[in-house]
Structures are given as structure tokens and as C-alpha cells.
Structure 1
Amino acid sequence: MKNLLNTGNLIKSLIIAIIMTAASSSNAQQIKPTSSGYAPANGIEVYYEVYGEGMPIILLHGAYYTIELNWGRLIPELAKTRKVIAIELQGHGHTPYSDRKLSRATLASDVEKVMDYLKIDSADVAGYSFGGQVAYQFAIQSPKRLRKLVIISAAYKSEGWVPEVINGFKKLKPELFANSPLQAAYDAVAPDKTKWTKFLEQMMASAGQPFNLGDDNIAKITAPVLIISGDNDGMDKVELAKTYKLLGGNVAADLQPMPKSHLAIVPNQSHVSLMQQTKTILDYLNGFLQ
């Protein structure tokens, strides 16, 4: 009972944070996509939105999010100088629910299929949380399509999270998300609102399963990587330091060349509040990508 109560309190805190994020996004400058639609990808239709012109950057949202909920404040800024392609992953937002097995490898392949459909040879890729896991997988299996990689508050293996988060994933229940901003965002754009519970069950089953994309695979990523993390976002900072070392970081740069990959720890930020720090994230992105 105590564990269930703790999990319920954890989700309630998360919902409150998401309410703040949703309100923040709704107050942001809104711009319309220059184009949007569906791209065929591995047996499903994946929704995308395109903004602006310039070097392409692909945005991959967090679990249960929509494009607007996750990226609403960043897209108008990025689109001033970049071609922004925002994707909604399987079952999220406009992209229909599918019984297709949910796997990071397939989702990363979906991203490549969207690129094929839009005739984009290579792009920078930025992923937040669950989208960051997919972005890591994309870097592993589609290296020739990737220029630079941005990982925001995401791990490539279960052990990258602190134990409280790992245990919380295992105890998620659809009823904890009832009448939440996440459900409201889903209902506003989903092609079939009756799939909400099935969608949650599919995502939660995936979240409860241990995963590991492999230390060796991360070490083989040749593209420069920017990792952005809140100091208290639920990620294990010891494991995060190991990740950065795998990517060539954690050196004495006064004695040898500065590594091409960067690590940014943003103080006083949680997993959700980190995405509200628009100027901070934008400054890191512009400094790294340019």
C-alpha cells in the first residue's frame, strides 16, 4: 500500500508539473507549420510538422506528449534559423495507435522513413526523455543520416535512472493519468480518442521492461553529442558521467583537445521543469549545433 501511495504521489507531482508546462506552452508565441502530414513508416502512418527553413533538425518528444506540449516554446525560436521537423511517435498525438510491437529500433526506423518521405539526407536530431532513447537508437542504427545528436534528460539504459524512477515505471497504471493534461492533449488531436487506455497500457508495459542499448554501441557513436540534464531530473548522475566518458568526454582539456561532445547540467531543475527553461536550452542548442 505504501509503495502504491508513493507511486500515486509521484505521478500527481508529475501531473502538476505537466500542468505548468502546458500552461507555459499555451502562453508561448504560436506559429503554424509550413507543412504537415503523415509519412508511411513500417506499416503505420507517422505524423510530422515542418517549420522554417535552413539546416534540418528533427525533434522527438517525451512519453505521452504531443509536439505542442513538448516543443511549443522552442519551435518558434528554432524555426527562425532552422528547418524544424517535429514528429509524433507511434500512438502519440496525431499518429494513430497501433498494435505493432513498440520497440526503440522500430521507432528509430520510423524517423528514418519520415526523412526519406521528406527527402532529407541527414539532420541534427534532438530527443527529450523517451524521445531521447529513440534518438540514441537512431544514432546507433542510422549513423549516416545523423549530423549532431542532442539528448535531453534521457538514458540509453534502465540503469541510467535513479532507483525511484525505475520502480515508478513498473507501477504505472492508466487510471493515474485520467483527466490529466496529457489526456486532454491526446483527446484534442488523436484520430481515435477511444485508444487512450490501450495507448497508455502499451507505453507503460514498455516502460516497465529493462532495456540497454549497449555501452559499446554508445561508444561507437561518431556524431557529436550534446547531453542536457537537470541536476535533479531523476537521472543517475554517476551513470550520466559514464555515458559522457563513453562519448569521449571527461578529459583534461587543457592538456589535450576539447571533446566534440558536450555535457550540460542545469541547476535546480526536475525532469519536467527542465523543458520550461527555453532560453537555457536554446542557448545550449545554438552553441552546440552552430
Structure 2
Amino acid sequence: MKNIFKLRNRINLLLVAAAMVTLFPSHAQQLKPNTSGYAPVNGIKVYYEIYGEGKPIVLLHGAYYTIGLNWSQLIPELAKTRKVIAIEMQGHGHTPFSERKLSRETLANDVVKLMDHLKIDSADVAGFSFGGQVAYQFAIQSPKRLKKLVIISSAYKTEGWVSEVTNVFKQLKPEFFANSPLQAAYDAVAPDKTKWTKFLEQMMALGRESFNLGDENIAKITAPVLIISGDNDGMDKVELAKTYKLLRGGVSADMQPMPGSRLAIVPGQSHVSLMMQTKILSAYLEEFLQ
């Protein structure tokens, strides 16, 4: 009982931190999308919003998030020079809940079909947390549709997280999220609010499964990759260094060419607070995506 109480307290702290994202002044709340709508993909309807003009970048949010919760601070900066396509994955936000089996492969294919719907041949893709896992899968499945890849606080295998994080994934229960900021964000836009618990159960079941997209598949990614991580964001930094090596980074650039991929560790940041560092993130992305 004490362990459950401690776990619930930890999760509540995380949810409060997530809510803090919405407390910061956000130009995205005034910046209306150029267009929004639903794309019919693989038997479901996926909601999307488009901001700005220029070369396209697709944004993939974290687990349980909406576009606003995850990207409200960053979209205005990106939209100054880019066509920003933000989507809400299966069951998230505006996108209806579906009994369709949930997998990273299916969600990555949804991105492909969304791009087809919008007549976009290729794009940069950025993913945060769970969205980063889907972004890695997209890079593996559809390399010709990808220009550059941005991974924010995410891993391509279970071992990429510290054990404390994976233990939380295994113990999550829907009741821990009751009346949380995440539920409030869901209720504000979901087409059917009664699906909240089913949505949580579906996501939590996937989160409890160990996964590994494969070292050999990551090594085959030819597109430049920018990895951004907070120094205390729950990512195993030893595994993160190995990932960067697979992407041909971690060399002595004074003795050989600078690799196309980049690794940035932002000090003093947790998993959630990293997404609040708008100036830092936008500066990294602007330099990398040029």
C-alpha cells in the first residue's frame, strides 16, 4: 500500500509538471492554424493542424498529450520559417479512440498516410518521448519520406530509459490520472470523453511491453538525426551515447569530418521541463534544420 501511495505521488508530481506547460504565456494560443482537419488513414481519422509556410516539419507528441500540451511553446517559433504539421495520434486529443491494435509500426504508417493525404513527399520529423519512438520507427520504415529527424527525450528501446522510469510504466493505472491536467486537456477536445479510461488502458498496455526497434535498424538511418535530452530526463545516458555512435556520431571531428547527426544534453532539465526550454530548443532546431 505504501509503495502504491508513493507511486501515485510521483505520478501526480509529473502531472503537475505537465500542467505547468500550459501556465506559461504562449503565442500558440493566439496563433491560429492555417488549417486543421482529419485525415482518413488506415481505418481511423487522424487530426492535424498546420501552421506557417515553408519546408514541412511533422511534430509527434508524447504519450497522453495533445498538440497544445506538447508543442504550444515551440510551434510559434517553428512557424516563422516552416510549414508545421502537428498531429494527434490514435486516441489522443481530437483523434477518436479506436479499438485498432496500437503499435509503433502502425502509428508510423499513419504519419506516412497523413503525408500522402496532404500531398507531402518528404519532411523533417520531430518527436518527443513516445512521439520520438514513433519518429524512430518512421525513419526505419519510410526512409525516403524523411529529410531530417529530431528526437527529444526518447529512446528506441526499453533499455534506453533508467530503471525507475520503466518500473513506473509497469505500475501505471488509469485511476492515477483521474482529474489530472492530462484528463482536462483530453476532455476539452476529445470527440467522445467517455473513452478516456479505454484510451489510458490501451496506452498503458503498450507502455508495459518491452520494445526494441533494433540497433541494426538505427544504424541504417541515413538521414541526419538531432538527439536532444535533459541531463536528468530519465534517459540512460550510457545508452544514449551508444545510440549516437550508431548514428555515426561521437568521433574526433578534428581528425575526421563532422558527422551529420548531433547530440545535445541540456543541463538542469527533467523530461517535462525540457519541453519548456523554448529558446534552447528552437535554437537547436533552427541550426540543425537549415
Give the alignment's TM-score, normalised by structure 2.
0.98
One-letter identity of the residue aligned with 2:145: R
* Gap change, CA 1:26 and 1:178, over 3 Å in 2: farther
Alpha-carbon distance in structure 2 between the residues aligned to 1:194 and 1:183 = 11
- Partner of 2:156, secondary structure, is coil
Alpha-carbon distance in structure 1 between the residues aligned to 2:177 and 2:29 = 28
1:96 is matched with: 96
**Which sits farther off after the overlay, 26-35 or 107-116?**
26-35
* Gap change, CA 1:165 and 1:36, over 3 Å in 2: same
Unaligned runs of 5+ in 2: none
One-letter identity of the residue aligned with 1:197: T
- Is the 1:29–1:73 Cα contact (8 Å) retained in structure 2? no
One-letter identity of the residue aligned with 2:190: A
For residues 159-238 of structure 1, the aligned pairs below 5 Å read 159-238=159-238
Alpha-carbon distance in structure 1 between the residues aligned to 2:71 and 2:63 = 13
Alpha-carbon distance in structure 1 between the residues aligned to 2:222 and 2:6 = 41
Stretches of 4+ aligned residues off by more than 4 angstroms: 25-29
2:249 is matched with: 249
1:107 is matched with: 107
Give the alignment's TM-score, normalised by structure 1.
0.98
Q: By how many angstroms is 1:24 displaced?
A: 1.8
- Partner of 1:47, secondary structure, is strand
2:136 is matched with: 136
Residues 118-141 of structure 1: CA deviation (Å, up to 9, x unaligned): 000000000000000000000000
RMSD, matched Cα: 1.0
For residues 30-109 of structure 1, the aligned pairs below 5 Å read 30-109=30-109
- Is the 2:28–2:75 Cα contact (8 Å) retained in structure 1? no
- Partner of 1:53, secondary structure, is coil
- Is the 1:174–1:201 Cα contact (8 Å) retained in structure 2? yes
Q: By how many angstroms is 1:38 displaced?
A: 0.5
* Gap change, CA 1:171 and 1:139, over 3 Å in 2: same
Alpha-carbon distance in structure 2 between the residues aligned to 1:23 and 1:203 = 26
- Is the 1:25–1:72 Cα contact (8 Å) retained in structure 2? no
Aligned residues: 290
Alpha-carbon distance in structure 2 between the residues aligned to 1:94 and 1:197 = 16
Alpha-carbon distance in structure 2 between the residues aligned to 1:2 and 1:27 = 42
Identity level (%): 77
- Partner of 2:84, secondary structure, is strand
Alpha-carbon distance in structure 1 between the residues aligned to 2:198 and 2:246 = 37
Q: By how many angstroms is 1:8 displaced?
A: 1.2
Q: By how many angstroms is 1:26 displaced?
A: 5.1
